[in-house]
A and B are shown apart, each in its own frame.
Chain A
Amino acid sequence: GEDVEQSLFLSVREGDSSVINCTYTDSSSTYLYWYKQEPGAGLQLLTYIFSNMDMKQDQRLTVLLNKKDKHLSLRIADTQTGDSAIYFCAVMDTGRRALTFGSGTRLQVQP
């Protein structure tokens, strides 16, 4: 089945850019997502990208997709302390309409 990998931890200074990376195995994945989870909370959908796109920008968020390398990244510009959270990459199995998640990247923003 699908496998999604993320690095576990990223620390940045406030005001810097953050880049969270994700790799996946199933080349037929058509939709790829980024979710944010704060302590004790559910998952907040940040953005998603369709597999025929290379890039998507939404305010401070930029998603880059390299289909050849099966690599997805999320860039957060001007990172703020409120961005501290766990970020999950997820890919859609369109046959089952189920999301496969990575293990999450904990982003720590230093003031």
Chain B
Amino acid sequence: QVQLQESGPGLVEPSQTLSLTCTVSGGSIGSDTYYWSWIRQPAGKRLEWIGRIYTSGSTDYNPSLKSRVSMSVDTSKSQFSLKLSSVTAADTAVYYCARRATNSSPEDSWGQGILVTVSS
């Protein structure tokens, strides 16, 4: 049973870069052919898909965030990461990492989520 766990700072100052890591256990990112997603949820609002990365490193980002987002994968550590630059209060949300079985499937396993607040 795969498990995902987000980690990173819970507080980020405006204009800085938000950096989060997702550690995958119960399976190897490098040996499996899954896609790995980041999704966020501002309080009381709908879920927003940020983007996804494949084990090869290929990425696909939400155009609304593309200029500020980058994702990477470290198969040796079974981790993948998210960076979101120039954050504002509008980026305050619970951030989830998740797994997709293929590039044409929904997210079937999710981390518990991490609340990131953008504030000075």
B is a partner of A: no
